Every structure is written in C-alpha cells, then in structure tokens.
A = this chain, B = another copy of it.
Amino acid sequence: MLVHKTLVDSGDRVVSIVPTYQQHFSIPKSIGADVHFLKLREENNWLPDLDELKRLVFPETKLIALTNPNNPTGSLIDKEMLKEIADIANTADSWILCDEVYRGTDQHGSGMTASIADIYEKGISTAGMSKAYSLAGLRLGWVAAPNSVIEDVMIHRDYDTISVGMIDDYLATIALESVDRLLERSHEITRGNLSYLSSWVDGEKKLSWVKPNSGTTALIKIELPIKSYDFCVKLLQNTGVMFTPGAAMGMEGFIRVGYANNPEVLKIGLSRVSEYLTNI
C-alpha cells in the first residue's frame, strides 16, 4: 500500500499480474490509476507470458506489480525470467513492485527467490516476517528500493502508522538473528508437506494441479460439476477442512490449499477430503 501510494497517481498506467493479493490492483485502482491485468495461465505453469507483458507495457506504464513467489499458485519466476521482465520494464522506464513475502520458501536450495531489488535499478521488493519466518503475528514487513523511494515511503508510513510496534520490532530483530534456524524449520515443514500433498493430489482422480515451486499454497483444479465456493462450504460443513474457493481470487474451478500447517493435521485433513471426494 505504501509503495502504491508513493509512486502511483491518478491516471497512471499500472500492470498487475493476477491472481495475486487484491491490494496489488485495488489500491492503484482506488487512486484512480489505469490498471491492466496480466492473467497467469495454467498452461504456462502459472508463469507470466512475456509476449503478453510486452504488449501491456506501454512507454507510459508507471508500475508493473508482480508477486514472486506467487500466491495462490506457488509458481516461481526464476532469476532469468525476472531479468527479462526487468528488460521489458526498462523499455518503458517503469517501476517493478515485486511482492516477495514468500521469499525463503522455495522448494529447493536456500529457499531464497531472486529479489527484483537486486536485479533492476527501478525494482522494489517488499517482504515481511509472516511467511518464511512463520511470524505473521508480529505484523512487520520491509521495503527494499532506491533511496528516493524509501524516503517517500517513510513519509507515508509516518503519516499512516508512525511505526510498527516496538516490541514486534525488537522480537523480529531477535528472530532475524537466528534466520538460518527459522528457515530450516520452515523448509522442513513446507518441503515435507508439499511432498505429501503431491502424492495425495496424484492419487485423487477428481483433482489436478501444477505443482508449486515455492510458497505455502497450491492452486488445485476440481474436476467436479460444482462451483468452488459451494464445494468449499460443503467440504467445511462435512469435514471441518477449509480450503479457499478460487472464485474469491478470480479463479473459478480451482481451490487454494494452504499446506504450511502441522504435518499431522495436514494428513488427517487430506484423508477426510479423500473420503468426501469418494462420496460425492
């Protein structure tokens, strides 16, 4: 929100990759920006089609908004593709705002997605404690960007909220001093759970997906003659398991499954879903 408020004015052209957090397109819209969407598609493994992006990015494009790793799909734009996106942005002298809140949760290696702020001069990376560090309760995030942007963002932050909680700030500092142990714990949970979820999806005839490469959520296609919202409500009522309907993020026909919970809870939940799927 702070970055949009800092950079985007009424009438500015903004390109947002969807699905993503609603804020990434609704806030520029609320400012009066001319927002265009680049829809991620299953056949591209939920990665942006760069030819389409080229067509959407005009000289007057002010900002391109990405989410990498992506929520809800768990897709991951690699460093090479980020560089190509930066090249496209550069032709229009556009800012790239990349929400990297899931940075650290990649399924391989260090878990650390390449950061747009390291790749592109006008790249802005935002992230926080809530995902890879499993400390959403601290309500603390950060912005990596050129100094001029940071100065303006600080003014907006001072106006809106003054600061994050001092205790949250202190505890986040302690947590980040033990970043390796925190990430190791996260990787154990998310890699183990995704592996389990993957076998489970493979065994369910009514479900299919593009397996995520990062994040803690997966978008799963339901091959059933039922709307995603109705499916999720009935599933919740019958089994106590809650998925998010794809319709809530413009992805009818899909459900979003968060898999960063306790491994035992995940297993019990999925077995209940299996039973439910057999009986409908």
Interface set of A (CB-CB < 8 Å, partner B): 1, 22-23, 137-140, 159-168, 171
CB of A167 to closest CB in B, whole Å: 6
A1 to B140 alpha-carbon distance, docked (Å): 20
Q: List 18 additional A-B contacts (Cβ < 8 Å) besides A137-B166, A139-B162, A165-B167.
A: A22-B159, A23-B159, A137-B165, A137-B167, A138-B165, A138-B166, A138-B167, A139-B161, A139-B164, A139-B165, A140-B165, A164-B165, A165-B165, A165-B168, A167-B167, A167-B168, A167-B171, A168-B168
Residue numbers in B under 8 Å from A22 (CB-CB): 159
A159 vs B140: C-alpha distance when bound (angstroms): 16
List, in ascending order, chain B residues with CB within 8 A of A166's CB.
137-138
Tell me the number of copies of this protein: 2
Can you name 23 A-B residue pairings with CB atoms under 8 Å?
Answer: A1-B160, A22-B159, A23-B159, A137-B165, A137-B166, A137-B167, A138-B165, A138-B166, A138-B167, A139-B161, A139-B162, A139-B163, A139-B164, A139-B165, A140-B165, A164-B165, A165-B165, A165-B167, A165-B168, A167-B167, A167-B168, A167-B171, A168-B168
A163 — nearest CB in chain B belongs to which residue? Answer: B139
Beta-carbon nearest neighbor of A167 in chain B = B167
Report the Cα distance A270→B1, complex, angstroms: 42
| CB-based nearest B residue for A169 | B137
What is the CA–CA distance of A167 and B171 in the complex, to the nearest angstrom?
10
Considering the complex, give the chain B residue whose CB is closest to the CB of A137: B166
Chain B nearest Cβ from A133, distance in angstroms: 14
With a cutoff of 8 Å between Cβ atoms, the chain B residues found around residue A139 in the complex are 161-165
C-alpha gap A202/B166 in the complex (Å)? 38
Smallest CB-CB separation from A26: which chain B residue?
B159
Tell me the minimal C-beta distance from A80 to chain B in angstroms: 34
Please, how many angstroms separate the alpha-carbon atoms of A79 and B1 in the complex?
39
